Amino acid sequence: MKRTLKYSGVVLASALLASAAASASDELLNMQKNADDWVMPTGNYANQRYSELDQINKDNVGDLNVAWTFSTGVLRGHEGGPLVIGDTMYVHTPFPNIVYALDLNDDGRIIWKYEPKQDPDTIPVMCCDTVNRGVAYGDGKIILHQADTSVVALNAKTGAVEWKVANGDPKMGETGTAAPMVVKDKVLIGISGGEFGVRGSMTAYNIKDGSRVWRAYSMGPDSDILVDPEKTTHLGEPVGKDSGTNTWEGDQWKIGGGTTWGWFAYDAELDLVYYGTGNPSTWNPAQRPGDNRWSMAIFARNPDTGMAKWVYQMTPHDEWDFDGVNEMILSDQEVGGQMRKLLVHFDRNGFGYSLDRDNGQLLVAEKFDPVVNWATHVDLKTGRPQVVAKYSTDQNGEDVNTTGVCPAALGSKDQQPAAFSPKSGLHYVPTNHVCMDYEPFRVSYTAGQPYVGATLSMYPGPDGDHMGNFIAWDATEGKIVWSKKEKFSVWSGALATAGDVVFYGTLEGYLKAVDSKTGDELYKFKTPSGIIGNVTTYMQGGKQYIAILSGVGGWAGIGLAAGLTDPNAGLGAVGGYAALSNYTALGGQLTVFAVD
Amino acid sequence: MKFRLPLMFAFALALLLPGVAVQSNEIASSEDGKYFDADDNPTYKIGEDGTVDWFTYSGFRRYHSECHVCHGPDALGSSFAPGLAESLNTMDYEGFLEVVINGREKVGASDNSKMPSFGVNRNVICYLDDIYVYLKARSDGALDRGRPRKKEAKSDATREEENECLAD
């Protein structure tokens, strides 16, 4: 009797699982429309980071107050932001990658906590801090992408491990920092380690059991990079045979970089996922002649097979470390009198690109910081930037210090995601206003060891008095609408809301609210540590909240802690050279705000 | 009585270890453009017009390629790893080699830091003295932030040694 019952229970359970599989994609497609929740790190599949909530608006945001706070118990850089699903908030931390489920009905009581055991050897192979950009939800699970590349599915209710797979090998310099994205019944996982000669890839795992469905490398043979030489296009033309190897010399593609540590997007109607690839390895361009395809590129792929529909390379043969991993923001806007399904991408290289996301046609490419000087413009037909010889570290050659390149290697914008308001039609972009000297030189490759090959020093843009701007951008014309100076690079993800307010954080630790139309500052509050996290909003018990992770670190914390190099100044540098360590210190904390 | 022995021992140790005292950077000898102190440890040479020896310059470059992504610009430290200009105040040449070659770990309740072993990384191992003298110059306050503007030429012997080290 007992036996029969048990058996029928199993049948019932698997029947339930089967029905869940069929609806896994619909589940998230619907959930992302509920403005009360924040169900994926990017806000929605379109990466807009926009909320329909308007209880907090430009008239009352000045009355914002801290509602509650939560210490994560971890130092180091806190990137990304929490998820909110119903009455539960999921908060993640940098290494050791703790995940907390907090009860929003009970002042953030800890429902469960998951702390993985990871080999500390992973810490030093994480270039630029042990950051993690967040967890994803799907099919009743919380997906954690650990520093050591383990992908773990946790039961969203209990925190119990449901499955676990290794996406890479930290001993080879492969690490995990990017937030996963759940698309249909798959989990998309990127990889980090461009400064360790890792060959980048995107991998899809089955959300049911963690089995691998496909992996698409950024470079290599056609079968590795999942392109169809005839059907996959680059600006409308077929990419042709061997496009992932024929712009590399010898076997350099095997340690070619092109890692995938940014944000992913999905268009359910076109059934395409979008993401960018990072810098080619090494930073010394002389060691890798050719365009180095498909580093520095945007891929549009079928989520079920991984097959690429189109690809576009922003920076062929990178000479400055301008990774192409920044987020892809999907919107529908009119360009040149024609409605377009747009993909808008603010690249590290300082150009804001608007493409037709259906076919990859390049529509707009303009500088989103006027000081960008390494290229005069981007040819919309060929897609190629017109490189200025003076700033070409390749043309100047090995062992030559190329000076005055704008932007610096950290880009006019790094991973910190921009927001798009369908209401205003504008993008709100956190930017860096920093330039550099860059000297490439020869390096040898050792597996699992840094593989950089350039020396660089950074300093503020030519005006010299600030290192960041928060801007509003019209992607249909490629124009800055307004620009607000910040002392430090703006390294926090933005949030736009229907309340005509835009939120972002600063490296000193301020959470700021500005008017979406004018950029006028409406509110600021200094949190305990510098902000490199992304602003989140949600509604709980009829009240709108704003949440932000503090915890200075990341590349910003490394590059800016001591202040930028000013060879002409003595001690106590000020203005654009100010040392971040004089403004803030380490410490992970979540701060949640509300209007009383 | 109980405390006397260890105290005396510590005192003797301080006399024996050259790195414990503040180094005055007296150059005792030189060979092929490389300078050494009285203990035969490598050291920097900075001329009155700011000309640095080749190794200090090379160390600046190697530091800002291999070390800077954790330890911050100009050996000043970051939110992720300590400032080595400071560390070299209390760490001698042997101690420096020990940590770079073997690594070091501080992992606990409030600390998650780990210095990797660079023992097999030729981009570091072939330039240990370069990086050391650069850091020493920064530590002693003899070298400002940023790129040294003038440098002595790289000697043929240095070039040969470098090629040999990188090749095997």
Tell me the per-residue pLDDT of A180-191, one tens digit each, with 9 for 90 and over.
999 999 999 999
Query: Model pTM?
Result: 0.91
> Nearest Cβ partner of B65 from A125, A453, A559?
A453
Q: Residue A269: its pLDDT value, please?
A: 97
Which residues are CB-neighbours of A508 under 8 A, at least 6 positions away? A487, A488, A526, A530, A580, A583, A584
How far, in Å, CA of A24 to CA of A183, rounded? 8
The minimum CA-CA distance between B39 and chain A, rounded to whole Å, is 31
**pLDDT one-digit tens code per residue, A234-280:** 999 999 999 999 999 999 999 999 999 999 999 999 999 999 999 99
Q: Which two tokens stand for residue A435?
A: 């330039």
Q: Does the pLDDT of residue B137 top 60, yes or no?
A: yes
Q: What is the DSSP letter of B67?
A: I
- Nearest-CA neighbor of A293 among A351, A242, A365, A330? A242
Partners of residue A457 in chain B, C-beta under 8 Å = 64, 73, 146-147
To the nearest whole Å, the CA of A374 is away from the closest chain B CA by: 21
- Which residues of A participate in catalysis according to the annotation? 321
Q: In what order do the strands lie in the sheet with A201-206?
A: A181-183, A186-189, A201-206, A212-217
What is the third-level CATH fold of A38-595?
Methanol Dehydrogenase; Chain A (2.140.10)
Show the DSSP H helices in chain B as ranges.
4-16, 54-62, 68-71, 84-87, 93-102, 122-125, 128-139, 156-167
Query: How would DSSP label each residue in A89-155?
Result: EEEE-STTT-EEEEEGGGTTEEEEEE-----GGGGGGSTT-------EEETTEEEEE-TTSEEEEEE
* pLDDT for A223: 98
Which of the four pLDDT bands, split at 50, 70 and 90, describes residue A15? Answer: very low
A96 preceded by cis ω (within 30°)? Answer: yes
Interface test with B, best of A400, A434, A446 (most B CBs within 10 A): A446
**Nearest CA-CA distance, residue A73 and chain B, Å:** 8
Report percent pLDDT > 90 for chain A: 84
What pLDDT score does B108 carry? 72
* The predicted structure's pLDDT at residue A566: 66
Given a cut of 80, is residue A574 above it in pLDDT? no
Q: What is the pLDDT of residues B88-106, one digit of tens each?
A: 999 999 999 999 999 988 7
What average pLDDT does chain B have?
Answer: 84
Q: What is the pLDDT of residue A118?
A: 93
Q: Up-side HSE of residue A299: CA atoms within 13 Å toward CB?
A: 34
Q: Is A569's pLDDT higher than 80? A: no
Chain B positions touching A458 (Cβ under 8 A) are 73
Q: Which has more pLDDT, A203 or B2?
A: A203
For the cut 70, the answer to whether the pLDDT of residue A211 exceeds it is yes
What is the rounded average pLDDT for all residues in chain A? 93
Q: Fill in the DSSP letter of residue A257.
A: B
| Residue entry with tokens 């009581």 | A109
Q: What is the four-CA torsion angle of A121, A124, A128, A134, rounded to 10 degrees?
A: 10
Using the beta-carbon criterion (under 8 Å), do B116 and A121 form an inter-chain contact?
Answer: yes
**Cis status, amide bond into A282, omega within 30 of 0:** yes
Between B111 and A90, the more confident residue is: A90
Q: What is the pLDDT of residues A416-425, one digit of tens each?
A: 999 999 999 9
A15-34: average pLDDT = 68
**Banded model confidence at residue A18, pLDDT cuts 50, 70, 90:** very low
pLDDT in the model for residue B22? 39
Q: What is the pLDDT of residue A463?
A: 84
Kindly list the residues of chain B whose beta carbon comes within 8 Å of any beta carbon in chain A.
Answer: 60-62, 64-66, 68-70, 72-74, 76-81, 83, 103, 105, 107, 110-116, 118, 120-124, 144-147, 166
CA A456 distance to own-chain centroid: 23
CA distance A34 to A57: 19
**Model pLDDT, residue A17:** 43
Reference A356, options A298, A432, A429; nearest CA is A298
- pLDDT (mean) for A471-486: 98
Rounded CA separation A419/A329 (Å): 8
Do B73 and A565 touch, CB atoms closer than 8 A? Answer: yes
Asked if the Cβ–Cβ distance from B112 to A124 is below 8 Å, we say no
A375 vs A173: CA distance, rounded Å? 32
Please, which pLDDT band fits residue A107 given cuts at 50, 70 and 90? confident
Q: Do the chains contact at A559 and B78, CB–CB below 8 Å?
A: yes
B30 CA to centre of own chain = 18
Nearest Cα residue to A503 out of A105, A49, A55, A170: A49
Please name each of the domains of chain B with its CATH number.
53-153 (1.10.760.10)
- Three-state SS letters, A33-72: CCCCCECCCCCCCCCCCEECCCCCCCCCHHHEEEEEEEEC
Q: Which residue of B has its CA nearest to A530?
A: B79
Q: Is A255 helix (H, G, I), strand (E, B) or coil?
A: helix
Q: With a cut of 90, say whether residue B1 has pLDDT above it.
A: no
| Cβ A398 vs Cβ A441: under 8 Å | yes
Distance between CA atoms of residues A293 and B152, nearest Å: 40
Q: Does the beta-carbon distance from B69 to A452 stay under 8 Å?
A: yes
Residue A558's pLDDT is 83
pLDDT of residue B52: 96
Model confidence at A573, pLDDT cuts 50, 70, 90, reads very low
CA–CA gap between residue A412 and residue A470 (Å, rounded): 11
Helix/strand/coil (H, E, C) string of B39-65? CCCEECCECCCCEECHHHHHHHHHHHH
**Which residues, in sequence order, are bridge partners of residue A297?**
A313
pLDDT at residue B3, as a whole number: 38
Q: Which chain A residues contact residue B113 at CB under 8 A?
A: 123
At A429-468, the pLDDT tens digits run: 999 999 999 999 988 899 989 899 998 888 899 888 899 9
A354-374 average pLDDT score: 98
User: Maximum Cα–Cα distance for chain B, whole Å?
Assistant: 59
Q: What's the CA gap between A199 and A165, in Å, rounded? A: 19
Q: Which of A19-33, A38-52, A385-399 has the lowest mean pLDDT?
A: A19-33
Q: Are A529 and A552 in contact, with CB atoms under 8 Å apart?
A: yes
Binned at pLDDT 50, 70 and 90, residue A562 comes out as confident
**Angle subtended at Cα A23 by Cα A18 and Cα A25, rounded to the nearest 5 degrees:** 125
For B65, which residue in chain A has the nearest alpha carbon? Answer: A455
pLDDT band at residue B168 using 50, 70 and 90 as cut-offs: low
8 Å CB contact of B65 and A443: yes
Measured between CB atoms, which of B112, B115, B147 is closest to A96? B112
What region, left, alpha or beta, does residue B112 occupy, with left being phi > 0 and alpha being psi -120 to 50 degrees?
A: beta
| Residues in A touching B69 (Cβ below 8 Å) | 127-128, 195, 450, 452, 558
Phi, psi of A296 (to 5 degrees): 55, 35
What is the chain A residue with the closest CA to B71?
A558
Residue B113 has pLDDT above 90, yes or no: no
Q: What is the pLDDT of residue A464?
A: 81
Pairing label, strands A237-238, A419-421: unpaired
Q: Which among A445, A433, A444, A441 has a CA at the least distance from the CA of A406?
A: A433
Question: What is the rounded CA–CA span in Å between residue A582 and residue A511?
Answer: 18
| Residue A397, Cβ density class (10 Å: 0-12 exposed, 13-18 middle, ≥19 buried) | middle
Q: Are A436 and A458 within 8 A, CB to CB? A: yes
Report ipTM for this prediction.
Answer: 0.80
Interior/surface letters A123-162, b for 16+ CB within 10 angstroms, e for the rest: bbbbbbbbbbbbbbbbbbbbbbbbbbbbbbbbebeebeeb
State the amino acid at position A455 in one-letter form.
Answer: T
- A327 has pLDDT over 60: yes
Find out whether A216 and A301 touch, Cβ atoms under 8 Å: yes
- CB atoms near residue A483 (< 10 Å): 17
Query: What does the alpha-carbon distance between residue A307 and residue B128 come to, in Å, rounded to a whole number?
Result: 46
Spatial CA neighbour of A478 closest among A386, A342, A373, A357: A342
- Alpha-carbon Rg for chain A in angstroms: 23
Look at A302 and A465; give whichever has higher pLDDT: A302
Q: What is the pLDDT of residue A143?
A: 98
Say if residue A290's pLDDT is above 90: yes
A166 vs B9: CA distance, rounded Å: 51
Contact A586 B66 (CB under 8 A): no
Type of residue numbered A119? D
* Angle in degrees, CA A585, A589, A595, rounded to 5: 120
* Candidates B79, B84, B118, partner chain A, best to mutate (most A CBs within 10 A): B79
CB proximity list for A248: less than 8 A, separation 6 or greater? A219, A256, A288, A290, A292, A293
Note the pLDDT tens digit of each residue in B31-63: 999 999 999 999 999 999 999 999 999 999 999
Is the pLDDT at A5 greater than 60? The verdict is: no
Quote the CA–CA distance of A416 and A82 in Å, as a whole number: 15
| The pLDDT of residue B21 is above 70 | no
What are φ and ψ of residue A509, in 5° steps?
A: 115, 5
What are the tens digits of pLDDT across the range A113-170?
999 999 988 988 887 789 999 999 999 999 999 999 999 999 999 999 999 999 999 9
**Amino acid A13: pLDDT:** 42
User: Are B69 and A95 within 8 A, CB to CB?
Assistant: no
Cβ separation of A127 and B69 shorter than 8 Å? yes
Query: Amino acid identity of A472?
Result: A
* Cα dihedral B151/B156/B162/B167 (nearest 10): 150
For the cut 80, the answer to whether the pLDDT of residue A406 exceeds it is yes
Q: What is the DSSP letter of B66?
A: I
Query: CB–CB of A567 and B146 under 8 A?
Result: yes
